Chain A
Amino acid sequence: MEPQTKRRSTLKEMIELLMRVIFTVCGFIAIAFVLIITVYLIISGLPAIREIGLVDFLFGTRWASTDKTNPAYGILPFILTSIYGTAGAILIGVPIGFMAAVFLSKVAPPKVAAVIRPAVDLLAGIPSVVYGLVGMMVLVPWIKDTFDLKAGDSLLAAILVLAVMILPSIISVSETALKAVPKEYEEASLALGATPLETYFKVSVHAARSGIAASVVLGVGRAIGEAMAILMVAGNSPNMPGLFRSVKFLTTAIASEMSYSSVGSLQRNALYSIGLVLFLFIMFINVMLNLFLKKDKE
């Protein structure tokens, strides 16, 4: 009797050990990818920056990568466009998303919420090229006619498309944070005579503020990393940003020129450098996100 149980336990231990090894390997694979991509971006992004000069690259206002006589590789227009575009999307998307989250988590009758929630999830699942297509067919002509422009492709169109695209992440993360607020807080507030709305906005939202902040950061991350949809509505001329001007984002600068740049040319290397700048932006946003989430846990 005894040796049998012993054998069984060693077998169990073996499986235990094997699984642990598998899990560890999987974990390291994920880390390895992050490391490889980081190292690759730095190695391939630095040469062009060194050749162009960091200041000329980051603060140069002229981008003419295929100019034969006087090429210029200044990406300030792209950086500013990405920042303005993201800020605009946040300015429009966050209030709407935040209100929707309050509505879904606190006000909406369960049946209504059961319809809206999957709709929001579906919104998150729509491929970005479809957003771009709708923007191109509907939004761009509308902007052209409304503001009497020669072409509707503009920063404004990109901002509006991005604002819709970041809604799902803002709504679902904010909603989760609002739902996690202990019922006792709200009950106490209501018992003290506050109206439901006062309770939601002064107690629940206050208690969930770091989760809501995290949702905003997540939205920023999505907006700044988006390429396909805005490639189709922003016009893609390397202008300094203006609301009604055709603009190029950091992402679209890479996407639109990569396919035609010849390997090893300064143009292609500069595109890698743009990728590096974008990567640093997103790293910074992720660090912010982690800070907010950590605060939330505390």
Chain B
Amino acid sequence: MKKVIALVAALTLSMGMFAGCGSSEPASSASSSAAASSEAVSSEAASSEASSSEAAAAVSGVVNTDGSTSMESVVKALAEAFMAENPDVTVNYSGTGSGTGIESATAGTCDIGLSSRALKEDETAAGAVSNVVALDGVAVIVNPANTVEDLTVEQIAQIFKGEITNWSQLGGADLEIAVYGREAGSGTRGAFEEIVGVEDACKLTNEYSSTGDVIGNVASNENAIGYASLSAVGDTVKAVKVGGIECSEATIKDGTYAIQRPFVMVTKDGAALSDAAQAFLDFAMSPDAAEIIAAAGAVSANA
């Protein structure tokens, strides 16, 4: 009996946790089952709309986006705004990683792929079309207690290659540097290593598989240095200046901040998008979306 009570208690607790997570963002459930059910709902809504002979211009349907986890906040913000204007459309987001996102866009398993890096040659050869929606700065982050404020790209490269191993070499406290990075294949890691010029040469102390993990661990470790999308960086960590230039939306947009990358919506060459997907893509590429993209922490490429 006690076992049952304990189990029920644990279940209730965990249900509460899930409910808490879900309710904050009702619009952007990521699972495909949600997609299936919402498809049913929206087609129902569409048919009832047709019978009441409303405006024919409204689009309806489901738009499945799939890819980069770094683009989550931008895509979810765009999706929310788009769905507010087009209540019959459901935009789903699934965070699988840039590589998978491009792959599913060219394979046709999703409507729009999401990539947080420029497309590679073999990917465009396979039919992937790049639509740059926004620009994102990769911020180099340290613990707020760290006194180092400014690093050059070269110094950052030396830190990540293991040539500089103590903060005192950079004018900071006498602490060994713990170098945090992302796992192999991550879009943020790819962008950072390519721009800083440390491809395949990084000596990472720890590897984390999400942006949140990197930020959380830098926030709790005075020795640490890491990198993350500007859009994800909050008050818990400090973004250092790179070559004297602060990482901000303005410096990314005018191109002075060195470590930046594009956010790309990937479509397939020659394959027509559904009306809903095309409308969503047009919306994301329009100057109107700039404000939403800015609110989500990235910089619009089309405003």
Q: For the complex, what is the distance from the CA of A150 to the CA of B216, rounded to whole Å? A: 16
Q: In the complex where A68-B199, A125-B7, A260-B100 touch, is A151 in contact with B205 (Cβ < 8 A)?
A: yes
Q: How large is the interface on A (under 10, 10 to 19, 20 to 34, 35 or more residues)?
A: 35 or more
Q: A34 CB to closest chain B CB, in angstroms?
A: 25
Q: Min CB distance, A114 to chain B, in Å?
A: 7
Which residues of B have CB within 8 Å of A118?
2-3, 5-6
B20 → A minimal CB distance (Å): 14
Asked if B209 CB lies within 8 Å of chain A CBs, one says yes
- Provide the A202-233 mask, 1 if CB < 8 A to any CB of B, else 0: 00000000000000000000000000000110
Contact of B184 among A66, A121, A122, A125 (CB under 8 A): A66
The complex places the Cα of A260 from the Cα of B114 at a distance, in Å, of: 12
> Contact at B206–A257, with CB atoms within 8 Å?
no
- Give the residues in chain B near A248, CB-CB below 8 Å: 207
A237 within 8 A of B: yes
Residue numbers in A under 8 Å from B183 (CB-CB): 236, 256-257, 260
Query: A-B pairs with CB below 8 Å: how many?
Result: 106
A85 to chain B, nearest CB (A): 16
Q: Which of B52-60, B170-178, B246-254 contacts A (4 or more CB under 8 A)?
A: B170-178
Interface residues of B, dominant DSSP? mixed
CB atoms of A151 and B221 under 8 A apart: yes
User: Could you tell me if B6 and A150 are in contact, using CB atoms closer than 8 angstroms?
Assistant: no
Residues of A within 8 A of B223 (CB): 150-151
**Is A127 part of the binding interface, using a Cβ–Cβ cutoff of 8 Å?**
yes
Whether the pair A246, B205 counts as a contact (CB closer than 8 A) is yes
Chain A contacts with B in 106-161, Cβ cutoff 8 A:
114, 117-119, 121-122, 125-127, 136-137, 140-141, 144, 150-153
Partner-contacting stretch, out of A12-20, A193-201, A261-269, A289-297 = A261-269
- Whether, in the assembled complex, A11 has its beta carbon less than 8 Å from a beta carbon of chain B, the answer is no
Residue in contact with A122 in the complex, picked from B6, B98, B102, B209, CB distance below 8 Å: B6
Q: Is the C-beta of A255 less than 8 angstroms from some C-beta in chain B?
A: yes
Given A151-B180, A255-B209; 11 other pairs, CB 8 A cutoff: A66-B200, A114-B2, A126-B10, A153-B206, A236-B208, A246-B205, A256-B207, A257-B185, A260-B184, A262-B99, A262-B103
Q: List 28 A-B contacts (CB under 8 A).
A: A65-B184, A69-B200, A70-B200, A114-B2, A122-B6, A125-B6, A136-B216, A150-B175, A235-B205, A236-B208, A246-B205, A246-B206, A246-B207, A255-B209, A256-B207, A257-B183, A259-B96, A259-B97, A259-B100, A259-B185, A260-B97, A260-B98, A260-B183, A260-B187, A261-B99, A261-B185, A262-B100, A263-B103
